[in-house]
Chains A and B, each alone.
Chain A
Amino acid sequence: EDKVVQSPLSLVVHEGDTVTLNCSYEVTNFRSLLWYKQEKKAPTFLFMLTSSGIEKKSGRLSSILDKKELSSILNITATQTGDSAIYLCAVNWVRGAQKLVFGQGTRLTINP
């Protein structure tokens, strides 16, 4: 069964710290991996990584796909209290039409 596992499940850091969130997957015929930020509402799209785009960056956030290790990391530098949220990783595979399989999420708390 296709599986996506995120770690850690929960993380508490101080404002200004750098954090690294992990996502590993077991999916046959991988197509893409997506990161989302979920606060009290809709998951907000952050990045999509594919074989042709294994590294993305936007401001203080960056993400890398390691196809050999079947994993991805999401880095957040100089964290702010507004970064507190649940970060979701989702994977799509070629035979899965467009359906996304989500991990459990990492709950990130930034303390002032």
Chain B
Amino acid sequence: NAGVMQNPRHLVRRRGQEARLRCSPMKGHSHVYWYRQLPEEGLKFMVYLQKENIIDESGMPKERFSAEFPKEGPSILRIQQVVRGDSAAYFCASSSQGGTGAYEQYFGPGTRLTVT
């Protein structure tokens, strides 16, 4: 049973370019979460999605960042016009359920974004 998959594992972008990060949840999971880990900092929640719905985007920067989880295909985290401060490791996690219960989240290997 494959775990959470993310690609690419490493991504280098010049300032002003766009970055697209992909996440395929574990088989049977329909809830996806994105977290960001800045250098020497802890993991910070960005957004929680279910298929075709954004449930909670309280951790997303107001500009340049967007996320989607279409009916078919992986979840995408999109960063437009990247700046050096966007350099970080971006982790995706998935869970089997959401709502009001307590469910484990399983993490992917992350995408390390470097903005030059």
Contacts and interface: CB of A to CB of B under 8 A. Distances in A.
Given A48-B102, A88-B42, A43 B33 contact: no
Among B33, B43, B99, B103: residue with most chain A CB under 10 A: B43
A103 B37 CA distance: 12
B4 A34 contact: no
Name A's interface SS: strand
A58 to B, nearest CB: 13
Nearest to B55: A97
Interface stretch (B13-21, B65-73, B75-83, B107-115): B107-115
Interface string A94-108: 101111111111000
Contacts of A43: 43, 91, 107
B43 A98 contact: no
Given A102-B43, A104-B42, A42 B108 contact: yes
B100 A48 contact: no
Contact of B105 (A34, A96, A104): A34
B109 to A, nearest CB: 5
Given A97-B55, A98-B95, A99-B56, A45 B43 contact: no
Interface residues of B, number: 29
Interface in A57-112: 88, 90, 92, 94, 96-105
Contacts of A104: 41-42
B42 A41 contact: no
B113 to A, nearest CB: 15
B56 A32 contact: no
A25 interface: no
For the complex of A and B, 6 pairs with smallest distance between CB atoms: A32-B102, A97-B56, A102-B43, A42-B107, A99-B45, A102-B42
Given A43-B43, A100-B45, 13 more contacts: A32-B102, A34-B104, A42-B4, A43-B91, A45-B105, A50-B102, A90-B43, A92-B102, A97-B56, A98-B31, A98-B98, A104-B41, A104-B42
22 contacts: A32-B102, A42-B107, A42-B108, A43-B43, A43-B91, A43-B107, A45-B106, A48-B104, A88-B43, A97-B55, A98-B55, A98-B56, A98-B103, A98-B105, A99-B56, A100-B35, A100-B43, A100-B45, A100-B105, A102-B42, A102-B43, A104-B42
